[in-house]
Each structure stands twice: as C-alpha cells, then as structure tokens.
Structure 1
Amino acid sequence: MKSKSLFLFAFFLFFVLGYSQDTISRFKWIRTGIVIGYASQNTIIKQDSDYTYETMCIKFSNHLNFSRKNKHSWEILIEPSYYRSQHQLLNYWFISHTVPNGDELRAKFMPLKSMNEYVLNIGIVYRRYLDLNSSVFATLNSGPMYIDTDTERLKKGFAFSDIFTLGYNYKRNRMSFDAKCVFRHVSNADLQMPNFGLNSVGFELGTYFELK
C-alpha cells in the first residue's frame, strides 16, 4: 500500500484539474445532497482479528456531469466528509515483546478510543440508467484527510482515504435517494510511521436535490 493512496489521489487530481478552464466551465452541477453511513473492519467478512475499527460518517455529496450517452453517464464526485470513528487494539502481541517500551505502548493503544477524521474525497462515478427514474452506479474516489488520534496502525495527522462503492439510485421529481455498499482503505503512503492502514466495509444512504 506504500504508493497506492498517492497514486489514486494524483490520478483524480489530474482527472479533475487536467482540463482547460473552458472545459471545466462547461461542467454542469447536476446533484447535491447529504450522505450518512456506517462501516466497520468486520462488517461482512472478518478481515483482521488484531483490531476493531468502526465509523459513522456524514458527507456533503456533489455531482458534476462529465458525459452522458444513451443510458450511460460519467460524473465527477466531490465529497467533503466527516467520520467519527472508534478503534481498539485487540492483539496483545501485535506490539512485539522486543520493543523496549512495549508495555507503555500497549497501555496507550489497547483501550477503546474515539477519533475524528476530516476528509475531502474527489472521484468519478459511472452510472447505468435502468429507466427514467432509477440507475445503478459505481464510484471510485480518493483524497486527503486528517486523523486526530494516534493508533498502533496509523500515525495521527495527514493521510489518504480511498473508497469504492456500488449502489442504486431512485429519482422522484426533483429529489433522489440512493443506497450503496462501501469499501474504504485509509493509509498515509508511508509519509509517517506506523502505516499499517485501516480497512472498513459498510453501507451509506443518500438524499439529493436534483439540479438539472
């Protein structure tokens, strides 16, 4: 995972900003709304018994049209987000007995702790329309974030949030609603140590105002 987050962030930054100002001015803001969600490290598949990680999030989701042809469309996604998370180290031996201050580190990391994560995700959405009012979609987005608490897996401070989702959207008049499954990875591309990363799987529900 050393360079994955940096690569994804650079790709999306290039995707959004790598066009001329004339091209960007033609992008149409088509949807804005609020998304809430829940995810955890062991929601569906038990990924790692060393730790627990749970998040509740709220996102301000904005979609800009990139292209649409027949029943297919591509959108740009911009999502400032806030995550309230809980984390706990479970495996006593995750911190090796050879570490000089191992007991001190265990005392610091093994209690359950709450954390705040502030994120700006930028990405792309592929949408397939089933009819005039419903669609299925996939999103891939990445962006910088700040986490305010040290853990044994990730250093406090700057990191990256990488997200993949699959979902369904239903539109009624000027409102639309969606539900999606979310896969998320948080790491800092080895800019700081430790950088074992945090993984979570969950779901999100969104309510949007359709601008077009």
Structure 2
Amino acid sequence: MATLRILVSLLALSAGPASALTVSELDAGEYSSDWSSPTLIANGTSAISGTGTAGDTDIFAVGGLASGAQVLTLSLSGADAFTDSYLNGGGSIRYSSTPFAHNWDGLNPGDFGISYDPFQAVSVSNNLTASRSITLDSSFGGTLYLAMIFTYGNAPLSYGIDLSSALLPGDPLVESPSAVPLPATAPLLLTALAGLLLMRRRQPRAG
C-alpha cells in the first residue's frame, strides 16, 4: 500500500494543468486509412501534422471542438521534399459531422495542391506552400471527421491542420492511444515505480 500511495503522489505531482497538444505523425505513427476506423484525436489538440504522397489517405475523428460556424486552416508544404527540380502533389479533402462509411461521404471544401518549377518566378500558382480553408457551418456539433486524400504527385507533401480556433476554453486533455504519444514524464514515473518495488523486495522481513 505504501508503494501505491507513493506512486499516486508522483502522478499527482507530474500532472499539470491541461494544455493544447500538437499531434504529429512522426510521433504517433502512421495515421489510419480505414474509413470506418479513423485515427482518434484527443480533446484539446490544437494541431495535426503529417505527410502524404500519391495513394495515401489519412483519416481522423476529432472530438471536443466548439460547436457552430467556424473556419479551420489547412497548410501544405513541399519544402522538405524539394530537390532543385520540378515538384507537384495534391489531392482532396472530405469532412463530415457524422462518421464516414465510404470515400464519397461528407463534403469537399475544394482540392489542394502544390506545383513548383524552380526555373519560374515564385507566384501563387508556382509555390512550395499552399493553404486551404475548411468552413464549418452553424450546424456543426463539435465532432469532425476529416480525410486527407492524396491523389497525385512526385514527392511527399507535409501538411498541418490548425484546430486552435475550435478549441473549447479550459477543455481537459483526454489522451487517445491511437494518436497521442505518452507524456514526457511517463518514463520517469515508470523508472521510479520500478525502483520502489525493488527497494521493497530487498527490505528484510520482520521476525
């Protein structure tokens, strides 16, 4: 019981106030491409980032957002993949307030894409970066199902989905094991627990 009480105390000390979180594909692992089983994104997440190339589909279920009309921003970049030659890539977005069942479900706010020729002047149509808006209407209920569908391109594109404008004030952070990595304090807590258990085993039994 003493060991359990100490562990609970350590957990309490490590728990700070809830804060916004960025979910990265680099940390979380490959996002789901299954329309009936999207990657679950934790409440309190302020941004989602990932990469995609032709043939990839990343599908998310984002809960705990503010209800009502609002605009979310999707940013794209091919800068990490640029190799001094022509670069292009893109696809389409699907979003819905109800779960997807098929790849034609939901609404399409427009296609996205990047086209860049290093031998031409940089312009809106010749650029390594681009952005797209996702406009949610007044009927939006706080849960967003979102799909990034990459249909063409000769290089992977990085993307970021900004959810910060849709976060509820003071919304508690609820971790989703499919998308959110362990907090940085978790290895320390596990090490402390192992040490306490080892010390307890080494204690001589009272006669």
Settle same-fold status: TM greater than 0.5. Answer: no
Q: Under a length normalisation based on structure 2, what TM-score does the superposition of the two structures give?
A: 0.23
Higher share of residues assigned helix: 2
Q: Under a length normalisation based on structure 1, what TM-score does the superposition of the two structures give?
A: 0.23
